[in-house]
Chains A and B, each alone.
Chain A
Amino acid sequence: MIRAAWQALVGGPLRSSPGRTLLAVLAIACGIALGFSVHLVNASAAAEFRRAALQLAGEADLVIRGPRQGFDEMLYPRIAGLPGIAIASPALEFQASRTAAAPALKIIGIDALRARELQPALFAGEALPAIDLFDPDNILLSAAAARAFGVSTGDRLDFLAGTETVRLRVAAILPDGAYRQPLGIMDIAAAQWRFGMTGTLHRIDVRVEPQADMLSVQRSLQTLLPAGVHVLSPDAENRRSAALTRAYRTNLDMLALIALFTGAFVVYSTQTLAILRRRMQISLLRALGVSRPAVLGLLLGEGAAIGAAGGLIGIAAGGLLAHQLLAASGVDLGAGYFRQMQANLHVEPVTLVFFLLLGVVFAVIGTLAPALEISGLPPAQGLRAGDPAGQTPGSRPLRYGLAAIAGAALLLWLPHPGELPLPGYAAIALLLLGSVLVLPPVAIGLLRALPLQLPMPHALGLARLIATPRHVAISMSSILVSFSLVVAMLLMIHSFRTSLDTWLHQVLPADIHVRAASSGETGYLTPAVQQRITELPGLQRVEFLRSVNLLLHPQRPAMTLIARDPGDGGFARTLPLVDTPPALPEGSPPAAWISELVADVLQLRPGDRLLLPLGEQPQAWIVAGIWRDYARQNGAIVIDRADYIRLTGDLRINDLAAWLAPGVTVEAAADGIRHAIGNGSALDIADTRDIRRLSLAIFDRTFAVTWALQIAALAIGLLGVGLAFSAQALARRQEFGMLRHLGMTRREIAVMLAGEGALSSAVGALCGMACGGVIGLLLIRVINRQSFHWSMDLAVPWLLLPLLFCSIVLCAALAARCTAVLATRSEMTRAVREDW
């Protein structure tokens, strides 16, 4: 019986209108494709992170890691001699700067004899001939590094130590399997000497005796470590690396999920109309003895089939999209976190099943409400003539909608786990759901309030819209959802871009900026070079900056310490502060100005004390103010360079900002600086205007993927309108036939339907704009703050929003008109002979 019922209820309609079913399938496929591709690229990046971190840690049980400027190597013998330590392998790990244009290379300096026991993967076969490493001129390259730099065994590579060139010979190239990312390996002593890091280590890898208690070893190690040096498990090390991009990846995942959410609304629209159209068949089956659960199961089965088909297509399309994204934008999808990282797409079967199920679940959710409603309809009522889609819904959806919106507001008060703004995203989902549920009465109210005296075909359309709130709701919901998402994204991106532009003007006030090297950590300028630059006649004023990093929190990536000249008026005037700084009490420790991320992660407020591991002992600082930092994603602390020199004795600098004397061009000043240094080719000298332009270009590239999501959301929304109107056009063939009899031309009917499309989408888009505005504020004030710790000023794209509004209304009108043209192309006059 079920088979016969399936044939009657699902098989027939699927065969008779495959186009509509296909569109619903495509809506789900679109969401799944986006979600799957983003997830695939993110998972590949995370897997590559894990693989790289674990390969370097090798078989170590613990990793002792310090700040990027390293820690005293005298710590090593003390650790190696601790009871319970089987092997301790010291290492240097740094990004070696190259010339101004070339990318930096990660170099590890190892003690080959000890490392062979802990990182055997690097020594696979003859891959790492230890004897070659002892030559201080030699470097071994991973195959990826050799490919990236276009070098082979015997070739020379130039690096920077300060402003001096360090020339190394490629002694051997590791096979592909040894280490997949670009990497250089040197003897530790050679690396210390050649890069001016004598007496310094960055990490010590430790293997604990099998019989020793790991926790007690860890505790005794921690007691030996100076401030800023931490002992971590390789897993924690991996998590710390992955934390760099976790927020970015989670946000992309969430955006993709929202695209899927939009797809579910399209399924809801399609299925609602399709199911309502089949109410007579459904009621007939019920009258013939098919039970309510069986009917419900059949309808949900149909939804599941749509979801499965959409899931399969989406997975295939998502795989292709991920491949293209990886090739075009890299593993960070253009965000610039790991420009050199190479990764291959790797799909776990469980991921495939998960996304397939996701498609099924979303499609079933989209089908659930209409299926429940129609299966619960008494058969006698269902067999009666009438247009159920035109009925006024009860007050229940409105109550549920208001409850969902209230729930969204409540969710915002919940704490968020780590940097994952899950309550914020759940609030967005609830807000969207609530908005869709309260849409019909709001839309009808808006339409009734319109002071419109429309000419005839449009007056008829308006009357129909007002009288058929369910039709209105169905066609508007996908527009509301998609448009609100687009408005929210636009609002957030525009606010972010405007804030970034303002920020760039604040943090880059000088005419030119000079970096010792365009990338990497080994370039710096000595005091003698600084002196020569200060004395250049073309420069009116010069400010120096030393940037190092500090590992303040073992579970987080290192934060950046910026020691710089305070500039005119002090940091209170030169930093982009989020609030007016309070006056500090007399006798306070030196001032530290922390970025928003540092304030959030370390839970600090102005006036609080902060310990920084500078010099021999941790030093107390007072938080003088909180500033906005869009450049460093792991947090930054600004202190006066004079304080930094006093505590560390480090006179080197990485960057300088210079104001040009009147009449001096950027080119002339750059030539002067290069000449003063001698080895000027290493310097990265940039016109501040170019930096601003480049920064905004990078911003645009980073958000390019969100444009794809916005376009997808809009396309899905318009697809929803098209589907709703095509279903309506089919359901209204008798009405159109009657109107043709009464003397309305095909064109007038098409114009009437286009007007309905324009009006309903305009109301949907208006509601979407309001809902999107709130979601945009949530993205700005909640999601971004919680994920990235970035605040921004609200900026509304006044020109773009009306343009987008008009475009979507026009597109919806055209979609409605097209469906009317298609519907009226066939012989409508015979439709009047059918039952209404």
Chain B
Amino acid sequence: MLSLSHLHKAYREPDARPVLQDVNLELHPGEYIAIVGESGSGKSTLLNLVAGLELPDSGKILLDNRDLTTLDDGARTRLRRSRMGFVFQAFLLLPHLTVLDNAALSLKLNGVAHREAQQRAHAMLEAVGLSGLVHRFPGTLSGGESQRVAIARALAHRPQVVLADEPTGNLDPGSAGQVLALLREQIRSCNSIGILVTHSMAAAASADRCYRLDGGVLRPE
């Protein structure tokens, strides 16, 4: 279970405007939510806090009753590596690795042996419909295909939490729909917690529940 309680965050520069104010949220395995909001509303900050990339000014982030805010950077990084998966707007595939190697990256970072990692990544790519492209390089893929590889990479190691930051921002509507459906399907099949951050209400509609961040306050939509 992922629980956020009374999260506060403000940036010092350039003004001391609060980004998040008393954010509370509780998510269970298999749940998939969307967070919408204007640019600068704090969506990405919230995602970074959940991922342990930033620390809140106050409040708690519990993942299976373990408070991320009490962990040092190394422990948070290890936790992120083993329990979380990411999908980015710009895909961020490594251009010098094949599709298969990109999908296997999280597994290998978690110490899974090369052969097993390749097998599991292959299975994941099959699940996202890319089994025919495993030896291609990212430069030769379309946007939709690239994002599917990113989804495979994010879920190959079966993380507890999947964080998706504007995953369809760079895609055409057709590809966006396919990717969102695939993301939802895979999160469910892995029984992960899914958090989708987006500007798009259409994208948010693919989630089970939707929240809006407005002035740093999280409210159900």
Contacts and interface: CB of A to CB of B under 8 A. Distances in A.
A390 interface: yes
Contact of A743 (B44, B48, B88, B106): B106
A829 B90 CA distance: 13
B12 interface: no
A735 B81 contact: no
Interface in A450-484: 453, 456, 459-460, 463-464, 466-468
A745 B73 contact: yes
Interface in B163-201: 165
A829 B54 CA distance: 9
A744 B77 contact: yes
Interface stretch (B24-32, B94-102, B123-131, B202-210): B94-102
A673 to B, nearest CB: 77
A836 B90 contact: yes
A742 interface: yes
A833 interface: yes
A463 B101 contact: yes
B40 interface: no
Given A464-B96, A742-B105, A832 B78 contact: no
A463 B106 contact: no
B94 A742 contact: no
B86 A741 contact: yes
Interface string B71-108: 00110011011101010111110111100010001101
Interface string A520-556: 0000000000000000000000000000000000000
Contacts of B165: 832-833
Contacts of A467: 95-97
Interface string A813-835: 00000000000000001101111
B141 interface: no
Contact of A745 (B74, B91, B108): B74
Contacts of B51: 741
- For chain B, give the interface size range: 20 to 34
Contacts of A741: 51, 53, 80, 86, 88
A387 interface: yes
Nearest to A456: B108
Interface string A734-775: 110110111111100000000000000000000000000000
Contact of B88 (A387, A463, A738): A738
A835 B139 CA distance: 15
A87 B27 CA distance: 114
A829 B51 CA distance: 11
Given A390-B96, A743-B81, A743-B82, A832 B108 contact: no
A386 interface: yes
Contact of B109 (A387, A463, A744, A746): A744
B178 to A, nearest CB: 21
A740 B77 CA distance: 8
B81 A742 contact: yes
Contacts of A463: 94, 96-97, 101
Candidate in A456, A746, A834 with the most chain B CB atoms within 10 angstroms:
A456
B139 to A, nearest CB: 7
Contacts of A735: 92, 94
A744 B82 CA distance: 11
Contact of A456 (B82, B86, B89, B109): B109
- For chain A, give the interface size range: 20 to 34
Candidate in A387, A463, A741 with the most chain B CB atoms within 10 angstroms:
A741
Interface in B116-167: 139, 153, 165
B74 A832 contact: no
B84 A468 contact: no
A459 B89 CA distance: 26
Interface string A378-410: 000000001100100000000000000000000
A832 B48 contact: no
B95 A387 contact: yes
Given A833-B44, A836-B90, A742 B109 contact: yes
Contacts of B91: 836
Nearest to B85: A742
A740 B53 contact: yes
B89 A833 contact: yes
Nearest to A387: B95
B95 A832 contact: no
Contacts of A468: 96
Contacts of B73: 745-746
A375 B53 CA distance: 40
Nearest to A743: B81
B139 A386 contact: yes
Nearest to B106: A742
A836 B91 CA distance: 9
B48 A829 contact: yes
A466 B109 contact: no
Contact of A835 (B77, B90, B108, B114): B90
Contacts of B139: 386
Nearest to B117: A456
B106 A832 contact: no
Contacts of A835: 90
Contacts of A466: 96
Contacts of A453: 114
A468 B139 CA distance: 13
B132 to A, nearest CB: 22
A456 B111 CA distance: 8
B94 A464 contact: yes
Nearest to B166: A833
Given A463-B101, A743-B81, A744-B81, A832 B90 contact: yes
Nearest to B90: A836
A262 to B, nearest CB: 29
Interface of B: 44, 48, 51, 53-54, 73-74, 77-78, 80-82, 84, 86, 88-92, 94-97, 101, 105-106, 108-111, 114, 139, 153, 165
Interface of A: 386-387, 390, 453, 456, 459-460, 463-464, 466-468, 734-735, 737-738, 740-746, 829-830, 832-836
30 contacts: A390-B96, A453-B114, A456-B108, A456-B111, A460-B94, A460-B97, A463-B94, A463-B97, A467-B97, A734-B90, A735-B92, A735-B94, A740-B53, A741-B51, A741-B53, A741-B80, A742-B80, A742-B81, A742-B105, A742-B153, A743-B77, A743-B81, A743-B106, A745-B77, A746-B73, A832-B92, A833-B44, A833-B90, A836-B90, A836-B92
Given A741-B86, A742-B106, 14 more contacts: A386-B95, A390-B95, A456-B108, A463-B94, A467-B95, A740-B53, A740-B77, A741-B80, A742-B153, A743-B82, A743-B106, A746-B73, A832-B88, A833-B165
